[in-house]
Structure 1
Amino acid sequence: MSEPDILVAGETLIDFLPNRPGSLREVETFTRRPGGAPANVAVGLATLAETPWFWTRVGDDPFGDDLVETLVGHGLPDEFVERDPETKTTLAFVSHDEHADREFSFYRDGTADTRMEPGTIDDALLERVSWVHLGGVTLASEPSRAATLDLAARASERDCTVSFDPNARPELWDDRAEFERLVGEALGHVDVLKATPDDLAEAGIDGDGADLARAACKRGPHTTLLTLGGEGALAVATEEAPWEGKATHSGYRVEPVDTTGAGDAFTAGAIAALAGGDGLAEALAFANAVAATTTTAEGAMTALPDRERVERVRGGTPDDE
């Protein structure tokens, strides 16, 4: 097996998924599943046969034991899967409405993924990979904030393609302005931004459709991938990008069971496609198919599909321009 060419970094946690729609106050029974946006992306890439390095930090507790076993079971190398003996693993309780859309309540005060240290990934590894993916949740707490920004800066300096998902979670931030400031700082090192309109609104970036994606590109990235839920996705790239300047895809019709992790599945599909040399339109089509397939089963990481399942969902010719 060849050494991974992609590095993903960020939180791994436990999602508690409700047994029925309703608010957390109403739901009494939950099912435990592994999660965390970067962890989902890393496992998604491995499931798509593009196994990355994964840097994360979990507690030295039973939840951490389960997460490490899950990551390794999906074929991820454990060299940068850290255990923190002094604290616990993050928990996230999820609530669903009747459309399978979800909200989160985090138990993350001083937990392991808030304690990632700058410099853990050395420059030698960054010289050997071509792509580094980061998420916004680790920006909410120190020292993981500094670790994330440091990794983004050093990866950019070494000509890695740096991708970033702001993954706005207002419940993690006491000050929206602080989120906006830190996302802006991160975007100065980012090449490919994956976001929702809500993510960008929280980050102080306004607009609609392609205009919103172009506004995001003005903050630093040469490419913005904008996911639009059931309406699919669009992408805009500047002249600095190594692929064409615009693409859209209307998505695939499926019966959603759980949308948790669909955005992360999209990110994994997009990275796999773009890092593999596909153009922007093909990458959107593939990423949308990965995301759509994921929503047909419960959980985030546990629902991530392999390429065979994705191709079954794709079926006909995708819409693009």
Structure 2
Amino acid sequence: MANDVLIAGETLIDFIPERAGPLEDVAGFERRPGGAPANVAVALARLDEPPLFWTRVGADPFGRYLEQTLADCGLPDRFVTRDGEAKTTLAFVTHDETGDREFSFYRDGTADTRLEPGRIGDETLADCEWVHAGGVTLAGGSSRTATLELLERAAAAGCTTSFDPNWRPELWPNEETFASVARDVLAHVDVCFATVDELELLGETGESSTDIARAVIGDVAAQAHTVFVTRGSEGAIAVADDDAPWPADTVSHSGFAVETVDTTGAGDAFVAGAIAALRAGHTLADAVAFSNAVAATATTTRGAMAALPTRDAVETLLEAE
């Protein structure tokens, strides 16, 4: 099977609390594999489209566990790098009563901050149709340069490039730095996935989510021809202009009514659904519906990676709509 999608970014350990509430009140946690790009990669594999995945983990027990997990999920290990000098990143998740979450990271000089520019060769990019990266690796270390360099080279090679800013306040010195770096990345990105809050941090404003998405496309500093604005339980909006390889359109989908247990990884599931649908030639409207179904199904089980659904589960939800 050809691996014509490349996902790049962090793989880490999520510690999921045994109950909702602030971390200081939680006594027990369950170890789960995570990291937004890792979740996207595994979600694609669950949808029967395993991509290449470029990541870096520590040569520690957590890193070995993550390597085995990725292999068990059907991801090739060609670009899974083991770092003998740095630990694996840990993230402790806080849940409120609705399932929404916040993160507390242990990520000072860890393996995923140490991706190295030039690791992905020109021959690999020549075989790729789509390259996706997330915003966490932009927060510091050599990974910022490596991520930006990958997207620049992927765009130059003719790949469709996509980006999820994935704003995590604890990882950045301030909002202005995040916005500046993210906007540099958008100059090399075709498809942007973001929340309303993230787009507003980038300086995009408007009366509605649709206005904000159109503002991103209309920005001369951005290459993006398609923007997905995710809105949690309210679904998503997508806008594509005439430069998109799929028909230009503005569409929305209100999402699916499911019994939400944990929203961790839902946005990553949405990204994977959109990539899979657009690569399969679906319309923008069908891609948004499919992506929402993938994301909604992922919220019905605890954890990020462990909750990612199969294609059969997603199609069952779509058929029930």
1:223 pairs with 2:222: no
Deviations 1:237-270 (A, max 9, x none): 1110122321111111000000000000000000
Q: Which runs of 4+ in 1 moved over 4 A?
A: none
Gaps of 5+ in 1: none
The alpha-carbon deviation at position 206 of structure 1 amounts to 2.1
Contact 1:237 / 1:246 at 8 angstroms: preserved in 2?
A: yes
- Rounded to whole Å, the distance in 2 between the matches of 1:295 and 1:316 is 17
Match of 2:37 in 1: 38
Match of 1:202 in 2: 201
Match of 2:181 in 1: 182
Q: Which runs of structure 2 are paired with 1:12-51 in the superposition (5 Å)?
A: 12-51=11-50
Secondary structure of 2:25's counterpart equals: coil
- Rounded to whole Å, the distance in 1 between the matches of 2:13 and 2:294 is 22
Match of 1:249 in 2: 253
Q: Which runs of structure 2 are paired with 1:161-172 in the superposition (5 Å)?
A: 161-172=160-171
The alpha-carbon deviation at position 199 of structure 1 amounts to 1.5
Contact 2:234 / 2:254 at 8 angstroms: preserved in 1?
A: yes
Match of 1:288 in 2: 292
Contact 1:168 / 1:202 at 8 angstroms: preserved in 2?
A: no
Deviations 1:174-203 (A, max 9, x none): 122111111000000000000111221232
Secondary structure of 2:192's counterpart equals: strand
- Rounded to whole Å, the distance in 1 between the matches of 2:201 and 2:21 is 25
Match of 1:160 in 2: 159
Contact 2:10 / 2:56 at 8 angstroms: preserved in 1?
A: yes
Q: What is the RMSD of the two structures over their aligned residues, measured on CA atoms?
A: 0.9
Among 257, 264, 270, the alignment partner of 2:268 is 264
Match of 1:84 in 2: 83
Q: Which amino acid aligns with 1:209?
A: S
Q: Which amino acid aligns with 2:227?
A: T
Match of 1:3 in 2: 2
Match of 1:236 in 2: 239
Q: Which amino acid aligns with 1:40?
A: N
Deviations 1:122-176 (A, max 9, x none): 1110000100000000000120000000000000001100010000001100122
Contact 2:16 / 2:32 at 8 angstroms: preserved in 1?
A: yes
- Rounded to whole Å, the distance in 2 between the matches of 1:264 and 1:196 is 12
Contact 2:109 / 2:141 at 8 angstroms: preserved in 1?
A: no
- Rounded to whole Å, the distance in 1 between the matches of 2:86 and 2:61 is 12
Q: Percent identity?
A: 60
Match of 1:214 in 2: 214
- Rounded to whole Å, the distance in 2 between the matches of 1:118 and 1:91 is 23
Secondary structure of 1:25's counterpart equals: helix
**TM-score normalised by the chain length of structure 1:** 0.97
Contact 1:10 / 1:39 at 8 angstroms: preserved in 2?
A: yes
The alpha-carbon deviation at position 3 of structure 1 amounts to 2.0
Secondary structure of 2:53's counterpart equals: strand
Match of 2:312 in 1: 308
Match of 1:61 in 2: 60
Q: Which amino acid aligns with 1:211?
A: D
Match of 1:191 in 2: 190
Among 278, 281, 293, the alignment partner of 2:282 is 278
Q: Which amino acid aligns with 2:106?
A: Y
Q: Which amino acid aligns with 1:307?
A: R
**TM-score normalised by the chain length of structure 2:** 0.97
Gaps of 5+ in 2: none
Secondary structure of 1:305's counterpart equals: coil
The alpha-carbon deviation at position 204 of structure 1 amounts to 2.5
Q: Which amino acid aligns with 1:223?
A: T
Secondary structure of 2:24's counterpart equals: coil
Match of 1:111 in 2: 110
